């Protein structure tokens, strides 16, 4: 593979953040310690730990955590000898207070996540992270939902705030390879900082899209062990490492250790196999935020509505992350329509 960048690839493992959605935010301290230690021993560069919706996400709307995320961050930091612990922060969900607390506990990277058209709300948090001596990255969510020129404009804003990398974040798993190529190439041609890519596997394209991103110059890549992430999961880390090695791209991560971790430690935690089922497929098809799946399934059961209809309607309304309450509204409306039609 010919790459547009000769910088080394850095992998961020997201199973302890994105994967929090899968386990309904019920990670225990012991689980986080074991997984973080295994990832550290395998040579993973960054391990992201926080509520699935980022710092401060443990709420009724997003789902209560079993254990305070600060205790989980502290456990991960203690388990790591070489990997850096990262956190996600969505302004309006998390605040500077949580960011400072996470940093005191040892988190050294924050990814400040906004909707793809709302980068301006990230300025305060990126500035603070740099003042605290943390690495700071911008994370433009739902990147499929905006024109490429808008994506570039917003990424430039994050760069101007001090972000050291900006991620194209395929939150819905809706991007096709050419869409990834177009977006990463545009950012690579427009920014002086690193480019990252975060995939979801709802259309079975997470690995393929990640390879396209790397080819076009992305050097910050996300993966989740055993696909432990929202929807159908992210690019499966152990598979990604195997594919990169086949391509002659060495990232310094031990493949066997990643395979053993996936099989022996992460696998038993999964409440169900991470596969592309009808719900996660609709996420990618409709372009809906991947963490909406469990909320739609619960609302569908409560109101007697097919969750697919809820997700398609939410997609038509162009919902963004943080609008989980819209799922209940849609389910109620559909239930009323059904009753009126009987």
Total length of the chain? 342
Q: What topology does CATH give the domain 291-341?
A: Helicase, Ruva Protein; domain 3 (1.10.8)
Residue numbers in the known binding site for substrate are 17-18, 171, 198, 289
Domain with CATH 3.20.20.70 in the chain: 10-269
Tell me: pLDDT of 155 over 90: yes
pLDDT digits (tens, 9 = 90+) for 55-77: 999 998 889 999 999 999 999 99
Residue numbers in the known binding site for Mn(2+) are 18, 198, 200
Encoded tokens for 302: 């409560």
- Residues with Cβ within 8 Å of 158's Cβ and at least 6 positions away in sequence, in order, are 112, 119, 122, 126, 138, 140, 166
pTM: predicted TM-score of the whole model, two decimal places: 0.93
Q: Which of 158, 108, 111 is nearest to 132 (CA)?
A: 108
For the domain bounded by 10-269, which CATH number is listed?
Answer: 3.20.20.70
Residue numbers in the known binding site are 17-18, 171, 198, 200, 289
Residue-level pLDDT at 341: 67
Which residues are known to be catalytic?
A: 21
Residue-level pLDDT at 78: 98
Mean pLDDT over each residue of the chain, to the nearest integer: 95
Q: Which of 188, 181, 185, 187 is nearest to 205 (CA)?
A: 181
Tell me: pLDDT of 297 over 80: yes
pLDDT digits (tens, 9 = 90+) for 84-109: 999 999 999 999 999 999 999 999 99
SS3 306: coil
How confident is residue 342, by pLDDT bands cut at 50, 70 and 90? low
Tell me: pLDDT of 213 over 80: yes
**d(Cα 14, Cα 278) in Å, to the nearest integer?**
23
SS3 321: coil
């Amino acid at each position: 593979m010919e790459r547009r960048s000769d910088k080394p690839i850095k992998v961020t493992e997201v199973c302890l953040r994105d994967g929090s959605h899968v386990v309904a935010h019920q990670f225990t301290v012991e689980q986080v310690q074991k997984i973080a230690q295994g990832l550290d021993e395998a040579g993973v560069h960054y391990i992201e730990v926080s509520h699935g919706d980022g710092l401060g996400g443990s709420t009724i709307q997003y789902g209560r955590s079993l254990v305070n995320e600060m205790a989980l961050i502290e456990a991960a930091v203690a388990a790591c000898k070489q990997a850096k612990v990262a956190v996600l922060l969505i302004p309006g969900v998390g605040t500077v207070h949580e960011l400072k607390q996470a940093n005191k506990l040892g988190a050294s990277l924050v990814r400040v996540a906004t909707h793809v058209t709302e980068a301006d709300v990230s300025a305060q948090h990126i500035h603070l992270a740099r003042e605290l001596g943390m690495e700071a990255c911008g994370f433009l969510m739902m990147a499929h939902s905006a024109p490429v020129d808008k994506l570039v404009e917003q990424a430039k804003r994050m760069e101007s705030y001090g972000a050291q990398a900006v991620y194209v974040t395929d939150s819905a798993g809706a991007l096709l390879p050419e869409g990834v190529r177009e977006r990463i190439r545009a950012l690579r041609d427009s920014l002086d900082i690193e480019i990252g890519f975060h995939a979801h596997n709802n259309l079975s394209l997470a690995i393929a899209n990640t390879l396209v991103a790397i080819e076009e110059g992305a050097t910050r890549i996300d993966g989740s062990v055993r696909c432990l992430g929202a929807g159908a999961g992210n690019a499966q880390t152990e598979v990604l490492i195997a594919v990169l090695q086949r391509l002659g791209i060495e990232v310094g991560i031990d493949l066997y250790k990643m395979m053993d971790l996936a099989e022996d430690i992460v696998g038993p935690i999964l409440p169900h196999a991470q596969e592309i089922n009808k719900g996660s497929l609709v996420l990618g098809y409709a372009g809906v935020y991947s963490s909406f799946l469990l909320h739609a399934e619960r609302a569908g059961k409560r109101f007697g509505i097919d969750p697919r209809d809820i997700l398609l309607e939410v997609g038509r309304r162009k919902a963004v992350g943080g609008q989980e309450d819209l799922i209940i509204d849609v389910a109620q409306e559909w239930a009323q329509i059904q009753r009126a039609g009987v």
